[in-house]
Amino acid sequence: MPQAGTLKGDRLPKAVIAVLASTGMAIMLFIIAFLLREGVPILQEATLGEILTGVYWYPTSDEPDFGMLPLILGSISVTLLSSLLAIPISICLAIFLSEICPRGVGELFKPVLEILSFFPSVVLGFLGMMLIAPWLQQTFQLFSGLNMFNASVLMGIMIVPIISSLTEDSLSAIPKTLRDASYALGATRMETVLKVVVPAALPGILQACLLGIMRAIGETMVVLMAAGGAAVIPRSIMDPVRPLTSTIAAEMGETPVGSVHYNALFFIGVLLLVMTLLINLLAQWIEQRGKRWR
């Protein structure tokens, strides 16, 4: 009897898949190694504590300061605010699409939503600069409309399609038998959706949210164009902020390669990697918990 993997026609595809998969993995490892190699030397210039808690970001001064706290808080605050704006809307939208609206409408709406998630962020950033910023400034008598609120609204618009589309997927994946059982017990549609379908899909929904949050942390163009770019710790949502990503985007082009500033920018890359890694671990933890809930 031929063993698995020894068939002549089976060997080539197996090898191809193995090669391609390990190439992908190797590329990822090289990226991380490169980030660390270029970023870690900054620790010779400033201690980790100085970098993480310093509030002055003057990487090109004669006596440079590499305080990244305003940048880290900038990233976190924009991400939080945009998630607060986007997640409730996304989940309601997903519940509507999957449970409430007539099937025909849903089938039309879902692809539109998925296309929207590929909407170029630079266009959104441009809208923020040309339309929202002057409007915000006039309406609220601010000194600038380029601020955290502006960027968060745009980022929210950007992650709604991602979160709601994934949430809708996990809601539709809940088997019909579960709903039928609920109806059979005399539950109303509302009770079925909120007390049966949504709890059953909760791990998927949370993962969709985390994916949206990760997208928001990594997003660059919108924050570069609309967040105002001031490296200060924000005190209100109408303050300008400078997230980590836009710092790299704005400064890398003109930075002398191999300089201390260059190392600092790569270190920001390492920080972003660590942040997304943490969220990823959180997502996995939620999945573990989710298995127990079921």
Alpha carbon dihedral 145, 147, 148, 153, in 10-degree steps, equals 40
N-terminal to C-terminal alpha carbon distance within the chain? 41
When binding is defined by CB under 8 A, the residue of 42, 46, 57, 95 that contacts other proteins is 57
According to DSSP, residue 40 is labeled G
Nearer to other proteins, 198 or 231 (CB): 231
- Shortest gap between Cβ of 266 and other proteins (angstroms)? 13
Applying CB under 8 A, does 54 fall inside the site for other proteins? no
DSSP assignment of 117-154 equals TT--HHHHHHHIIIIIHHHHHHHHT-S-S-SHHHHHHH
Applying CB under 8 A, does 146 fall inside the site for other proteins? yes
Applying CB under 8 A, does 42 fall inside the site for other proteins? no
3-state DSSP helix/strand/coil percent for the chain, to nearest 5? Answer: 75, 0, 20
- Find out whether 113 and 101 touch, Cβ atoms under 8 Å: no
Residues numbered 75-134 forming contacts with other proteins, rule: CB under 8 A: 129-130, 133-134
Residues numbered 207-266 forming contacts with other proteins, rule: CB under 8 A: 224-225, 228-232, 240, 242, 246, 249-259, 261-262
- Shortest gap between Cβ of 288 and other proteins (angstroms)? 39
When binding is defined by CB under 8 A, the residue of 1, 8, 62, 294 that contacts other proteins is 62
Q: Which stretch binds other proteins (CB under 8 A): 30-38, 58-66, 71-79, 161-169?
A: 58-66
The site that binds other proteins (CB under 8 A) totals a number of residues, namely: 42
- Find out whether 261 and 268 touch, Cβ atoms under 8 Å: no
Backbone angles phi, psi at 55, to 5 degrees: -110, 0
Strand partners, 167: none
Nearer to other proteins, 43 or 232 (CB): 232
- Shortest gap between Cβ of 246 and other proteins (angstroms)? 7
DSSP assignment of 227-268 equals SB---S--SSTTS-B--HHHHHHHHGGGSPTTSHHHHHHHHH
Applying CB under 8 A, does 137 fall inside the site for other proteins? yes
* Positions that interact with other proteins (CB under 8 A): 12, 16, 56-62, 70, 129-130, 133-134, 137, 143-146, 224-225, 228-232, 240, 242, 246, 249-259, 261-262
